[in-house]
Amino acid sequence: MVKEIAYETTLWDNWNKNQNEDNANELLEAYMYLVHYHVQRIIPTLPKSVDREDIKSLGLYGLYDALLKFDSSRDLKFDTYASIRIKGAILDGLRKEDWLPRSTREKIKKIDRAQEDLEQKYQREVSIKEIAEHAQLEENEVMEAQKDSFFANLLSIDEQSNQLNDENNDGIGNLIRDDQDITPEKELLKKENYAYLIQAIKQLKEKEQLVLSLFYDKELTFTEIGNILGLTTSRISQIHKQSISKVRQIMAQENTLKSGAE
């Protein structure tokens, strides 16, 4: 451990003295494990059509961007800062592309209609098996399409957060505040939007709130959350999707009321 710290210190000393390509490559290699970590975390949530190497390239770009922009005088570890930039670069790259084929989007719409029809008919939450039978699909097709839909929803919400805050933000819950850039108006707007989000989440059922907290705050996978709550991964996925949909509806209603009042 001591040798590793000394080695990293030497790399940073070399970089601070001379920010050339060789010193940059040595630091990138030393912190490449951060890229591998975030790629490993996000790959299971992506459609199968997404290439791992493409995600790795996005993460490497984020790491290099972090190296160039890192301010060692701030009270922030490079590991923490780089992780945020890596995750942000991956999400930004994914947002710029439509990763879902048209056939998958059509299947998602079909599954959503089937789920809505069944829930209205039975007045309860329905199972994957029931949805599959109603939509005339295999259960694994429904689960795979829902996973793709969850990821698309996550990107959509993250992008909406960027637009509302009008900042180059790297993702929900992963903002680096810079007092030199953020104006009082932007800070007030950010707090107001977070307040709306918190109030919207409070209107969800207790289990829905818990799933969102474990997924976004604790960064657990659907499988890990399922083990904690004693539910299947597919059930956690359903709860997550329903919770996201409810939050978006509640916030849309709040925005409409706010606009009307103004």
- Tell me, yes or no, whether 74 and 147 share the same domain: no
> What integer pLDDT is reported at residue 249 of this predicted model?
82
* 123 found inside a domain: no
Report the share of the chain in percent with pLDDT over 70: 70
Q: What is the CATH number of the domain that holds 84?
A: 1.10.1740.10
* 195 found inside a domain: yes
**How many Cβ atoms from other residues are within 10 Å of residue 1's Cβ?**
5
Q: What is the CATH number of the domain that holds 225?
A: 1.20.140.160
* 110 found inside a domain: no
246: containing domain? 139-261
* 186 found inside a domain: yes
Give the domain-ending residue among 95, 117, 149.
95
Query: What does the alpha-carbon distance between residue 67 and residue 219 come to, in Å, rounded to a whole number?
Result: 25
- Tell me, yes or no, whether 87 and 160 share the same domain: no
Nearest CA to 102 among 45, 154, 47?
Answer: 47
Looking at the 3D structure of the chain, how many domains does it have?
2
Report angle CA 256, 115, 238 to the nearest 5 degrees.
80
Report angle CA 100, 106, 110 to the nearest 5 degrees.
130
Give the domain-ending residue among 60, 75, 95.
95
- Tell me, yes or no, whether 152 and 219 share the same domain: yes
- Tell me, yes or no, whether 82 and 147 share the same domain: no
* 121 found inside a domain: no
> What integer pLDDT is reported at residue 7 of this predicted model?
66
Q: Residue 34 corresponds to which tokens in the numbers above?
A: 């951060």
pLDDT in tens, 240-259: 888 888 888 887 776 666 55
> What integer pLDDT is reported at residue 165 of this predicted model?
41
> What integer pLDDT is reported at residue 14 of this predicted model?
87
Give the domain-ending residue among 95, 127, 152.
95
Query: What does the alpha-carbon distance between residue 205 and residue 214 come to, in Å, rounded to a whole number?
Result: 14
> What integer pLDDT is reported at residue 61 of this predicted model?
92
- Tell me, yes or no, whether 69 and 169 share the same domain: no
**How many Cβ atoms from other residues are within 10 Å of residue 170's Cβ?**
22
> What integer pLDDT is reported at residue 112 of this predicted model?
84
Residues of the chain with pLDDT under 70: 1-7, 47-49, 75, 95-101, 148-194, 196, 254-262
